[in-house]
Amino acid sequence: ESVSPAHAEIIGRVYDSALHYVDARIAELAEALQRAGQLDSTLLVVVGDHGQQLGERGRLGSADGLHDSLLRVPLLVRCPTLVPQGFAIE
């Protein structure tokens, strides 16, 4: 569906809030692993299932073809013995 820039801004803020919520839950998991002394020996993987259009090309949602905003999803990997801190692939 087409969306105005103002509506996209509001949806973007809601989306950001959802991301902050997920970040907080991941932090809780990492803190629990740290308290248990298992964080540095645990492979922690977080991946998104699909992207969202938040006003790109005047659209909202996730079902509008094959575009970077839908295909590029985060993949976070933490395993200090296997993946060096700060390692990134563009």
Quick one: how many helices (H) and strands (E) in the chain? 2, 4
Question: Residue 37's pLDDT is what?
Answer: 96
Please classify residue 19 by burial: count the beta carbons closer than 10 Å to its beta carbon, then call 0-12 exposed, 13-18 middle and 19+ buried: exposed
In the block, which residue shows the tokens 């990492």? Answer: 30
Per the CB < 8 A criterion, the answer to whether 54 and 15 are in contact is yes
- What is the pLDDT tens value at each position of the chain, 90 positions in all? 566 778 778 877 888 888 899 999 999 999 999 999 999 989 999 987 666 666 565 565 556 666 566 667 778 899 888 888 888 877
pTM: 0.68
- Pair of tokens at residue 37: 């002394």
Q: What is the DSSP string of 64-83?
A: SSS-HHHH---EEEE-TTTS
Question: Residue 55's pLDDT is what?
Answer: 55
Rounded Cα–Cα distance for residues 7 and 4 (Å): 5
